[in-house]
């Protein structure tokens, strides 16, 4: 039975020590808070305030308030200058953005014209090829790069394209067919 009594006493001593430590830390914390408050607000530091028993001169309070007003006016003026600079920068940025959007629209229009002109040229050239005899067109295609010739074969009317392909050398016709078949091989199916 002596062991439980001894254990209770040691728990009681530990509990008492913890209470004293907590009390000491709380008093220390209050002191630190007072020091931080005095550093943050020097005008409110306890050593700068007159004792409560002394008479406070209203002129001193008025002078302190006037000095604080001057400080606040200077800060407000600085903030207004910063706000004005930000508004000017924002306006300049908006102007640049508008110019960029206008240039983008003009570039898109130019690209559409270029694509349209290129498409018209290809249609015209395809019509020229179709007006020739299949053997003549086949002779021209045999001199072209395989992928370039395949592009024109895909644009020809199917019946005329068949006649041209039959007039080509079999190896060239095979290469053109392979290019045409492989064009969409990597296109996703779903």
Q: Each residue of 132-150: pLDDT tens digit? A: 999 999 999 999 999 989 9
* Residue numbers of the chain with a pLDDT score lower than 70: 1-3, 28-54, 186-187, 189-190
Chain segment 111-128, per-residue pLDDT in tens: 988 888 888 888 898 899
The per-residue pLDDT for 13 is 79
Q: How far apart are CA 78 and CA 129, in angstroms?
A: 76
Which of 181, 141, 145, 183 minimizes the C-alpha distance to 164? 141
The answer to pTM > 0.75 is no
**Residue 163: other Cβ atoms inside 10 A:** 15
Q: What's residue 172's pLDDT?
A: 93
Q: What pLDDT is recorded for position 19?
A: 80
Question: What pLDDT was estimated at residue 49?
Answer: 53
What ranges do the domains of the chain cover? 56-118, 132-190
Instruction: Output phi, psi for 43, to 5 deg.
Output: -70, -20
């Amino acid at each position: 039975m002596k062991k439980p009594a001894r254990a209770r006493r040691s728990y009681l001593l530990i509990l008492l020590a913890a209470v004293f430590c907590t009390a000491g830390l709380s008093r220390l914390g209050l002191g630190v808070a007072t020091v931080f408050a005095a550093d943050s607000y020097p005008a409110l530091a306890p050593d700068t305030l007159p004792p409560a028993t002394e008479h406070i001169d209203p002129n001193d309070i008025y002078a302190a308030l006037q000095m604080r007003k001057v400080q606040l006016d200077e800060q407000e003026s600085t903030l207004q200058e910063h706000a004005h600079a930000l508004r000017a920068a924002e306006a300049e940025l908006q102007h640049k953005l508008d110019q960029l959007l206008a240039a983008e629209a003009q570039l898109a229009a130019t690209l559409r014209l270029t694509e349209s002109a290129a498409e018209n040229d290809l249609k015209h050239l395809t019509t020229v090829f179709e007006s020739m005899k299949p053997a003549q067109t086949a002779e021209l295609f045999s001199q072209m790069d395989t992928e370039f010739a395949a592009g024109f074969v895909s644009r020809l009317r199917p019946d005329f394209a068949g006649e041209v392909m039959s007039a080509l050398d079999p190896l060239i016709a095979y290469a053109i067919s392979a290019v045409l078949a492989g064009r969409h091989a990597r296109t996703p199916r779903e």
